[in-house]
Structure 1
Amino acid sequence: MSMDVGVYSRAELRKRGLDGWILRKELAGGSLFSVRNGWYAVPSADTVVVEAVRLGGALSCVSALRKHGLWVPSGYSGVHVRASRHGKQQLARSCQGPGRPVPVSTALDPIPIALGCAFRCMSDEDWIAGCDSVLNTLRLSVPALQAEMGRIPQKMYDLMSKCDPNSQSGTESLARVRLRAAGFSVHVQPDIAGVGRVDLRIGRLLIECDSVTHHTSLENYRNDRRRDRTALVNKWMTMRLTYDDVLYGWDEVMADIRAITDSDRHRIRSA
């Protein structure tokens, strides 16, 4: 189901029965206004989407993924627009996914199209994290998402082979990708007896990627500490990482993890 952002093409309005004199009446009464030729918006329309359409296309790429409520790390600024056939002359730079250009039919690109465009704007590991967010949010398998995206290049297939729909956050995805690239055997969302599900596990080292949204309420704060105590009693080690740790302090995080693993403190030893 597409998100209603209050900006519509003439074709979309026609399907709603708004055409001819009815459309002119709505425009004259202020219920709609013209954004550009063939595109209209209601007064309460999403302003970022209006800007994208006014620039000559649809809101797409990382901007559309954010609008759909999916995870995109900081550092991707500006309004990312996928140009329409007529809007290419207006835009000095626009986002475009792999393969043949898809006609712009909605003001906000659907998730598969936006993800394809983001493939060319995001770093590899950021794109994998964004793809994880799509898979987890929409409850899709990798093959199902690939089918919705149409024909995709080999590099995209290669990156999607590193995705995991079980990932619960972007920082968890980034940590997993980086740790596996460093040669660690990483388990995703393992269920630990007495503790419950944790984000990642390397041996008996449990890694939790804490977000402000889900770990700062008093209830969550208390529950996290209870889980940590239970884990320690059962001979697990817990390392909690913040958003800033993963995004801006990864070298220090990796050094700490290596300090534990190099001394084999993470090894699960049989009794």
Structure 2
Amino acid sequence: MATGRIQRLRRGVYGCAHVDEQIARAATIGGALTCVSVLRSHGVWAGDSLRLHLQLPPTSSATQDPSAQFHWARPRFGLQSPWEVTPLQSLWQALHCLDEENAIAAMESAMWTGFLRPEQIRQLALHAPRRLQDGIRRMVNNSGSGNETIVRLRLERAGFTVVAQGHVPGMGHQDLVVDDCVGLDVDGRAWHEGNDRFATDRDRDVQAEGLGRHSLRIRTAHIFRTWPHTLAVIERAVADARRDRERRRGRVIVRFDDPF
């Protein structure tokens, strides 16, 4: 302690100077990291709240902290250390804390990242709150981000058919394909920064347009700040794409490699 290599977190509990800040705080209070705090620390979708979630023993006398969310019940799926619950417990708890959209996004993200195995997701789905059952029936195992999941659920409930990770020959995938005629990419800063990624995204848009699939890009603000307008834009794009498809029927398409 004198050299700063360790620190006293609480009576009888010490931590290295480099210990994770949230783990140190959990140990200081006498609880274990749980729920969305564990998900976020492992790169799993956890909604937008940054509030610390801690699991405490039912007999704990810890002082309430307004900046933290305390969970007092005994963990159903146990602890993996005195300071953190198991991955299964963290997602189980998150299903009870998050709203429906974010809960389903967390489940799909847990599969996509490998945080939980498919059979563990199925186990949770069987016992999930009733309010999540419609979203669980709509789950897919290839959603690339929580934002993609939320957009897909909203569009499906608006009556569209939506496919996740729509293939673009030679250029990878578009995040979502709506009614088989509009490719929708949900751009997030973490995934679409940099000149190389920007160029690849635009090349894929051009390739998709060449296949007769219109392309549209939205960002996080379009989902959570201006969704009614965003939905109206997508509806218009799909309607226009359908009309274009009808006009093209019966035409002779000249390919670049056709002899003139």
How far apart are 1:120 and its partner, in Å? 2.1
User: Among 195, 198, 202, which residue is 1:218 paired with?
Assistant: 195
Share of identical aligned residues, percent?
A: 25
Alpha-carbon distance, 1:71 to partner: 2.1
User: Deviation at 1:104?
Assistant: 7.8
Q: Is the 8 A contact 1:83 1:91 kept in 2?
A: no
Specify the alignment match of 1:261 in structure 2.
238
Q: Which runs of 5+ in 1 are unaligned?
A: 1-26
Per mean C-alpha deviation after superposition, the further-off stretch among 99-108 and 245-254 is 99-108
Identify the match of residue 43 of structure 1 among 4, 17, 40: 17
Question: C-alpha offsets along residues 208-230 of structure 1, whole Å, 9 cap, x if unaligned?
Answer: 11121221210111111111112
Matches within 5 A, 1:176-215: 176-202=152-178, 203-215=180-192
Cα deviation per residue 1:200-248 (whole Å; 9 max; x = unaligned)? 1112100111121221210111111111112212211001111221222
Q: Distance in 1 between matches of 2:74 and 2:231?
A: 34
User: For 1:246-265, what per-residue CA distance to the aligned partner results, in whole angstroms no more than 9, with x for missing partners?
Assistant: 22221111011122334562
Q: Distance in 1 between matches of 2:8 and 2:126?
A: 35
Instruction: Map residues 110-149 of structure 1 onto 2, 5 A cutoff.
Output: 110-138=86-114, 142-147=118-123
Alignment of 1:246-257 (within 5 A): 246-257=223-234
Determine which of 44, 50, 59 is the counterpart of 2:33. Answer: 59
Partner Cα separation in structure 2 for residue 38 and residue 166 of structure 1: 45
- Alpha-carbon distance in 1 for matches of 2:155, 2:228: 12
Instruction: Give, in whole Å, the separation in 2 of the partners of 1:150 and 1:229.
Output: 39
The range that moved more, 121-130 or 79-88, is 79-88
Could you tell me which residue of structure 2 aligns to residue 68 of structure 1?
42
C-alpha distance in 2, partners of 1:85/1:105? 17
Q: What TM-score comes out, normalization by structure 2 length?
A: 0.79
Structure 1 residue 31 displacement after superposition = 5.0
SS of the equivalent of 2:242 reads coil
SS of the residue corresponding to residue 149 of structure 2 reads helix
Deviation at 1:44, TM superposition (A): 1.4
- Partners of 1:133 and 1:47 lie apart in 2 by 24
Partners of 2:61 and 2:135 in 1: how far apart? 29
Alignment CA distance shift 1:30-1:231 (3 Å) = closer
Q: Secondary structure at the match of 2:70?
A: coil
User: Higher strand fraction: Structure 1 or Structure 2?
Assistant: 2
What SS is found at the alignment partner of 1:199? strand
Which secondary structure does the structure 1 equivalent of 2:47 belong to? coil
When residues 101 and 55 of structure 1 are mapped into structure 2, their CA distance, relative to the original with a 3 A threshold, is farther
Q: Which amino acid is 2:55 matched to?
A: R
Q: Helix, strand or coil: the match of 2:85?
A: coil
SS in 2 for 1:84: coil
Alignment match, 1:83? 56
Q: Supply the distance in 2 between the matched residues of 1:193 and 1:267 (Cα, whole angstroms).
A: 21
> Which stretch shows the higher mean deviation, 38-47 or 223-232?
38-47
Instruction: Specify the code of the residue in structure 2 equivalent to 1:78.
Output: R
Q: Which amino acid aligns with 2:198?
A: Y
Q: TM-score, normalised by structure 1?
A: 0.76
Given residue 118 of structure 1, which amino acid in structure 2 is its aligned partner?
Answer: A
Cα deviation for residue 96 of structure 1 reads 6.0
Please give the root-mean-square deviation of Cα atoms over the aligned residues, in Å. Answer: 3.1
| Alpha-carbon shift at residue 49 of structure 1 (Å) | 1.7
Change (3 A) 1:88 1:219: same
Q: Is the 8 A contact 2:29 2:62 kept in 1?
A: no
The size of the alignment, in residue pairs, is 243
Tell me the distance in 2 between the aligned counterparts of 1:39 and 1:54. 8
User: Quick one: structure 1 residues 139 and 35, their matched pair in 2 at CA, closer, same or farther if it must change by over 3 Å?
Assistant: closer
Question: What is residue 210 of structure 2 aligned with on the other side?
Answer: 233
